Amino acid sequence: MSSLRIENLSCGYPSRTVLKHVTLTAEPGKMTVLLGANGAGKTTFFRTLSGQLPPLAGSFRLADREFGSYSLQDRVRELAVMPQSESRDWPLTVEEAVNLGRAPHRGWLFPLTEEDHRVVEEAIVRTCLEELRERPITELSGGEWRRVILARALAQEARYLLLDEPTAGLDLKYQHEVLHLIQSITHDRKLTTVLSLHDLNLAALFGDEIALLGDESLIAVGPPADVLTEDLIQHAFGIPVSILKHPVYGTPLIAPLSGQHTGDHP
């Protein structure tokens, strides 16, 4: 099974530890949503899992293999990363940008094979980019660009997706569109997907598991109804909330109590 197993992981920088002793298992076919206040360590956590930062302590495994034992080429075949922001300075077409997802398999200089083209086409269709394939990526909207990054990750055929704020900067329509797409791909392909969000209600609606950060550690993990409670949210975010029931889906619906805070966070 292609689970992501994190054991007693501490991460941060030589001068500062950001997260301590995180133990978490993300399972294939599930969306694990990482939540926490600004500065709680979500991006540092993703940088560590993607290999950009070395762990300060502990370890994590892809399936049953220690991440540090993977070669760079194997890492990029197994693990697809969507950063919070990514520049698009070169006027590649959408199709050319998605083609880059095959680089871990073909290298940068080798021409794409028939199989590569098939995988790219499937990724373009799955992300509804057919009509945009010839458009320069510099001319795309934020939502369209997010879909291109996701299509590139699909073309990579990685078993693990790390998505840092995939809805950042998107309006309500595109937030739901992108998360529906990620959810569908995760469930259908049995991918192991870990993503961070700011919106607690979107996390409740789309997340299979919630991992809540606070106090420089993981303070709760489990299904949305177990983690998104009034006490835990107030503890993590420093603001009292009322938890209602979504009238359609039955998921937790978080309503901040306006004008009140505990003073733990600005």
Tens digits of pLDDT across the chain (266 residues):
689 999 999 999 999 999 999 999 999 999 999 999 999 999 999 999 998 999 999 999 998 889 888 888 888 888 999 887 778 888 899 999 999 999 888 776 678 899 999 999 999 998 889 999 999 999 998 888 888 988 998 899 889 999 998 888 788 888 898 899 899 999 999 999 999 999 999 999 999 999 999 999 999 999 999 999 999 999 999 999 999 999 999 999 999 997 655 544 43
pLDDT in the model for residue 265: 46
* Residue whose tokens read 């360590």: 41
Tens of pLDDT, residue by residue over 29-86, are 999 999 999 999 999 999 999 989 999 999 999 988 898 888 888 888 889 998 877 7
In this structure, what are the phi and psi dihedrals at residue 75, rounded to the nearest 5 degrees? -60, -45
CATH architecture for residues 4-256: 3-Layer(aba) Sandwich (3.40)
Q: What is the CA radius of gyration of the chain?
A: 19
pLDDT in the model for residue 193: 96
Closest by Cα among 7, 43, 41 to 25: 7
Kindly compute the dihedral angle of the four CA atoms of residues 35, 145, 206, 202, in this order, to the nearest 10 degrees. Answer: 60
pLDDT in the model for residue 85: 75
